[in-house]
Homo-oligomer: A and B are copies of this chain.
Amino acid sequence: MAEQIVKIGLVQRPNSSNPKDNLYGHMGLIRKASEKGAQIVCLQELFNTPYFCTEYNNEYFDWAEPLDGVLVSSMQNLAEELEVVIIAPFFERRASGVYHNSLVVIDADGTKMGCYRKTHIPDDPGFYEKYYFTPGDEDTGFKVFETRYASIGTLICWDQWYPEAARITAMKGAEILFYPTAIGTLATEGKTDKKKFKTAWETIQCSHAIANGCYVASVNRVGKEYGSRFWGGSFVAGPFGEMIAQAGNKEEVLVTACNLGNIEKQRQEWPFFRDRRIDLYAPLTKRVDD
């Protein structure tokens, strides 16, 4: 396979409770990623707000932005100026009473290519997302965007635990699966929990790269917010699950070269797609087997 290099930038930044400051801060880091050669830049989940789902508070709905508002147009202008693709995850107000945990993909000419709305919504102590977010539906579903530099699949956080989501997105042609994320530990959880959670988080995402023979890029939040400690550690895995770059636990712009030519090579050497037994997979659309 011919070499086909694309440079991707993963941005992790501690946020304040001021969305405008966070927006400007992240725009500065997108510039930095571009200076370092990034062609596709992905921000963390809900990039311009704190991770507010640690409590039930309907005032936070005021932070939601429409898909045609200032947040998105700011990203469009920046993408066009820098000629970078931007993946910007944000709290979306879709309609009165319908809010999503979304992301918008902007092509390198500033075109808004579309949005993806988080499909699997968690709800656990400290992560009360079912209160805030309507799950993504058939209209948006699993998505691949054919950007100027690569075909990219986009999923958000909790989606990462579902091999089904990675598989369907890869089958649609994704060369790189991007997972903006907010994962960390609560004040009640210690170092042992962190190690256990972080290892499982890395393992499951590397496994999507292996099963699907594609790149996986996970972009995590960082810093302390409302009692949650996000551990950063954003990373890129190659198409056999090998970790090729990983950030630390502070603000960081991680720029990594991916050779998209490796994808087809990997799928020829370990031809998993060839042997899927689609005649036996119908039970996957059931809740349980009872």
Contact = CB atoms under 8 A, between A and B. Distances in A.
Given A162-B272, A203-B241, A277 B135 contact: yes
Contacts of A276: 120, 162, 164, 287
Instruction: Indicate how many identical chains form the complex.
Output: 2
A167 interface: yes
Interface of A: 119-122, 124, 135, 138, 141-142, 158, 161-165, 167-168, 171-173, 196, 199-200, 203-204, 206-207, 210-211, 240-242, 269-273, 275-289
Contacts of A281: 164, 168, 284-285
A203 B196 contact: no
A108 B217 CA distance: 47
A168 B278 CA distance: 12
Contacts of A287: 276, 278
A62 to B, nearest CB: 27
Nearest to A202: B203
A204 B283 CA distance: 21
Contacts of A172: 283, 289
Given A163-B163, A204-B207, A277-B120, A168 B284 contact: yes
